[in-house]
Amino acid sequence: MKVAGRPMRTIWLAEDGRTVEIIDQTRLPHELVVLRLASAADAARAIRDMQVRGAPLIGAAAAYGVALAMAEDPSEKGLDRAVESLAATRPTAVNLRWALDGMRRHLSELSAEQRFAAAIARAGEIAEEDVAINRAIGEHGLRLIEDAHRRKGRRGTVQILTHCNAGWLATVDWGTALAPVYRAYDARIPVHVWVDETRPRNQGASLTAWELGQHGVPHTVIADNAGGHLMRHGEVDLCITGTDRTSASGDVANKIGTYLKALAAADNAIPFYVALPSPTIDWDIEDGGAIPIEQRDPREVTHIAGWTEAGERVEVRLTPADSPAANYAFDVTPARLVTALITERGVCPASREGLLRLFPERRRHAA
């Protein structure tokens, strides 16, 4: 996608061919800072501290992290150590494990001398695959927005609610939930996005709002608790979110608060779509209740960071100094509340049969 009219991705191989560059997402929307990752430890830190975040981007960053490790120590031990440290960064997005398993499989068959070049090439392929997948998700999701526009008699703006950031910043490019929105906007379908602020880290307010603004898509940031009110007043035509891990039966783990939006959507008969690249499906987990839910530092709840008008970053406390806080980062929305899943192979019911119809090669695995 474009930043100030210039095409940009979230992660790329630097010109030296030996290091990787990322957009530091902890500095957005106030500063566009490019950060260089030179080691596996740098990559692990970037994922843990959420300089890169969003399930597909976490996968791509982990793949590049393994490649950087191969420049440091391409031995079997070096590979094990890199995979282990990167796997420990964040527990919910299954794309992390998917990318690390793929890198390990690919590299185990090679000699130590071959590993660095092969790892850089494979990480690049994973990044390119992500772009292609998300472009296809955009194509399939566009049909759903066109349908909504048709249902409105082609009059008026299609009102879309999204939670967290599942746009291009959460992927290598295009995004998952926002890819259909960009396609619709580019196709001149009138769209407007209600952007949940997404406490506690405010990925909606800071990242989704920023990237929609860069592309020119009309949007409004709302407090997380406003979604139900808007739905009850006919101000939302459809919801689209992403997911960090989808169970084989179509339950979806996504940013904390997604479940509440799905409940409100069901109560108001509003379609609730979830967009996902296939590496987000965990075919080993049937029931979403088994998905590990990340708990982060309570300081993200007790404090809030922002920029002063003078451009200085400040962090202030919101809660009484003695009040304990809990920081659950994700929740699980059961498949019954999801109208349909949007994947790179098409749209399907959120169910085991629905997913297997699109991914028949998984039938044996699932039996």
List of residues contacting ligand MRU (CB under 6 A)? 53-56, 93, 164, 166, 170-171, 176, 203, 241-244, 254-255, 329
Please give the backbone phi and psi of residue 337, each rounded to the nearest 5 degrees, phi first.
-95, 0
State in angstroms the smallest separation of the CB of 327 from ligand MRU.
11
Residue 218: is the preceding peptide bond cis (ω within 30°)? no
CA 125 to chain centre: 19
Q: CA 137, 138, 139, 145 torsion: positive or negative? A: positive
State in angstroms the smallest separation of the CB of 121 from ligand MRU.
24
Measured from the CB atom, the residue of 110 and 131 that comes closer to ligand MRU is: 131
Measured from the CB atom, the residue of 119 and 208 that comes closer to ligand MRU is: 208
* Cβ partners under 8 Å of residue 267, min gap 6: 231
Rounded CA gap, 325 and 302, in Å? Answer: 7
Rounded CA gap, 162 and 275, in Å? Answer: 11
Q: Exactly one of 244, 251, 282, 331 is catalytic; name it.
A: 244
Strands, E, within the chain: which ranges? 2-3, 6-7, 11-13, 20-23, 34-37, 158-162, 191-196, 219-222, 238-241, 245-247, 252-255, 272-275, 281-282, 303-307, 313-317, 330-333, 340-343, 346-348
State in angstroms the smallest separation of the CB of 295 from ligand MRU.
12
Measured from the CB atom, the residue of 203 and 278 that comes closer to ligand MRU is: 203
Annotation marks residue 147 as catalytic: no
Measured from the CB atom, the residue of 115 and 140 that comes closer to ligand MRU is: 140
State in angstroms the smallest separation of the CB of 34 from ligand MRU.
19
Closest CA to 13 of 72, 58, 55, 64: 64
Measured from the CB atom, the residue of 159 and 203 that comes closer to ligand MRU is: 203
Rounded CA gap, 254 and 96, in Å? Answer: 15
Closest CA to 161 of 201, 196, 128, 203: 196
Rounded CA gap, 166 and 135, in Å? Answer: 13
State in angstroms the smallest separation of the CB of 45 from ligand MRU.
15
State in angstroms the smallest separation of the CB of 177 from ligand MRU.
6
Task: Report the residue closest to ligand MRU, judged by CB.
Answer: 242
Measured from the CB atom, the residue of 159 and 165 that comes closer to ligand MRU is: 165
Instruction: Catalogue the active-site residues.
Output: 244
